């Protein structure tokens, strides 16, 4: 299958301060993103997500290694008309209104004049900025700027969309609308690469994720590969258990939380569920719900980060 993004041993050092002090922002990054894929790039603050993205869009040159985008070097100017980019907390010319700005973007991306107006209207509607088209962006809120950012990234109908924390500053409705936009782009055959530290967003829409920590890619793969599809725990809610019975069940499960008239029980295996059911039948207790829980990305993320931190010590 065609690769849209390939990085080989990508390394970036920043030199700061008066002394020759270097910060290695990313180290030997080997990433592959396939065509028509939604790829989530995950990592905590300072992990190197923005640095990687800056290399991919040609704002920064790698110290070592290389980054290929759409089959060419990431600094190649010709591929830029096929890439849509949204930087982290984007900022635009404050003296322009969104329509003037999108017009400039369309012009720079080489969209024919006749086509410009149609694209602009479509995108203003898509990101719901209709009410603000005449307002200079000086007065825009963070979420409104983010919407302009999404519109400018899509104005030239790019094949690959690279977004740095696209959900930043968006309200819950905005996040949902954004997820729909991304899924629609995938349907149209586009490839989407975006960074985030909000795991719920990734779980809902990503085909694959990459986890970056301290500049190193520590895990990539399909979500179900990373998380495993098997069920980790069962959560039972039961009514009609008295104190004595709760004590008995505590011998089977190490997580029993009684509240007013219900008890929450967490067990690891189906066999344990069976044993509790038997006890319940004896005393005439009632099962209100039984929910199998898979490992969440959050669990995985936190355990990976802890593993890395332990290695450091």
Partner 1 sequence: MKIIGVILNTFRESIRDKVFITIIIFAILVMVSGKVIQPLALGEEAKVVKDIGLNSIALFSTLIAILVGGRLVYKEIEKRTLYLIITRPIHRWQFIVGKYFGLLLVLFESILIMTCAFYLILILLNISASLNLLLSVLLTFFQLWVITAIAILFSTFSTPITGAVFTFALYFIGHLTRDLKTFGAMSKSGLVKTLSDIMYYVLPNLANFNIKGEVVHNVTIAPQIIVLTIAYAIVYSAIIVFASCIIFQRKDF
Ligand X SMILES: Nc1ncnc2c1ncn2[C@@H]1O[C@H](COP(=O)(O)OP(=O)(O)OP(=O)(O)O)[C@@H](O)[C@H]1O
One residue of 4, 39, 42, 51 binding ligand X per CB under 6 A: 51
Q: Is 51 among the residues that bind Mg ion (CB under 5 A)?
A: no
C-alpha distance across the termini of the chain, in Å: 41
One residue of 16, 73, 107, 306 binding ligand X per CB under 6 A: 16
Helix axes 142-154, 172-187, angle to 10 degrees: 10
Q: For residue 55, give both structure tokens.
A: 């290399």
One residue of 7, 50, 74, 109 binding Mg ion per CB under 5 A: 50
Q: Is 26 among the residues that bind partner 1 (CB under 8 A)?
A: no
- What are the residues whose beta carbons fall under 8 Å from the beta carbon of 243, sequence distance 6 or more? none
The answer to whether 206 and 220 have CB atoms below 8 angstroms apart is: no
The closest of 59, 64, 60 to 8, measured between CA atoms, is 64
The span from the CA of 58 to the CA of 85, in Å, is: 11
Q: Is 168 among the residues that bind partner 1 (CB under 8 A)?
A: no
Distance (Å) of CA 9 to CA 41, 68, 148, 173 = 17, 12, 34, 39
Q: Is 58 among the residues that bind partner 1 (CB under 8 A)?
A: yes
CB contact burial 129-143 (16+ within 10 A = b; e otherwise):
beebeeeebeebeee
Q: Which of residues 260-289 bind ligand X (CB under 6 A)?
A: none
- The residue (of 73 and 289) whose beta carbon lies closer to partner 1 is 73
Smallest separation (angstroms) from Mg ion to the CB of 52: 9
Stretch that binds partner 1, among 35-43, 78-86, 221-229, 275-283 (CB under 8 A): 78-86
- Give the contact letters, 98-137, x = binds to partner 1 (CB under 8 A), - = no: --x---xx-xxxx---------------------------
Smallest separation (angstroms) from ligand X to the CB of 7: 14
Q: For residue 265, give both structure tokens.
A: 């029980």
One residue of 31, 47, 120, 163 binding ligand X per CB under 6 A: 47
The answer to whether 128 and 98 have CB atoms below 8 angstroms apart is: no
3-class state of residue 150 by DSSP: helix
Binding site for partner 1 (CB under 8 A): 54, 57-61, 77-78, 80-81, 83, 85, 87, 90-93, 95-96, 100, 104-105, 107-110, 152, 156
Binding site for ligand X (CB under 6 A): 14, 16, 23, 25, 43, 45-51, 88, 197
């Amino acid at each position: 299958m065609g690769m849209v993004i390939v990085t080989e041993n990508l390394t970036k050092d920043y030199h700061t301060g008066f002394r020759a002090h270097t910060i290695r922002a990313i180290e030997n990054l080997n990433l592959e993103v396939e065509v028509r894929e939604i790829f989530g790039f995950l990592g905590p603050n300072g992990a190197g997500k923005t640095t990687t993205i800056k290399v991919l869009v040609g704002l920064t040159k790698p110290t070592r290694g290389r980054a290929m985008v759409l089959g060419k070097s990431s600094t190649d100017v010709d591929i830029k008309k096929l890439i849509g980019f949204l930087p982290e907390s984007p900022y635009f010319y404050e003296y322009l209104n969104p329509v003037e700005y999108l017009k400039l973007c369309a012009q720079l991306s080489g969209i024919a004049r006749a086509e410009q107006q149609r694209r602009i209207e479509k995108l203003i509607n898509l990101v719901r900025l209709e009410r603000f088209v005449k307002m200079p962006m000086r007065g825009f809120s963070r979420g409104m700027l983010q919407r302009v950012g999404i519109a400018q990234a899509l104005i030239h109908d790019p094949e690959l969309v690279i977004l740095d924390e696209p959900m930043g500053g968006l309200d819950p409705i905005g996040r949902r609308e954004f997820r729909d936009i991304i899924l629609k782009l995938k349907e149209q055959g586009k490839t989407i690469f975006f960074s985030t530290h909000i795991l719920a967003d990734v779980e809902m829409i990503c085909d694959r994720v990459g986890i970056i920590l301290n500049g190193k890619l520590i895990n990539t793969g399909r979500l179900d590969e990373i998380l495993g599809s098997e069920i980790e725990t069962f959560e039972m809610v039961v009514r009609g258990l008295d104190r004595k019975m709760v004590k008995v069940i505590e011998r089977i499960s190490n997580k029993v939380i009684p509240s007013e008239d219900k008890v929450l029980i967490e067990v690891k295996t189906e066999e344990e569920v069976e044993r509790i059911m038997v006890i319940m039948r004896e005393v005439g207790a009632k099962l209100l719900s039984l929910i199998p829980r898979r490992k969440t990305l959050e669990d995985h993320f936190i355990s990976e980060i802890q593993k890395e931190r332990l290695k450091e010590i």
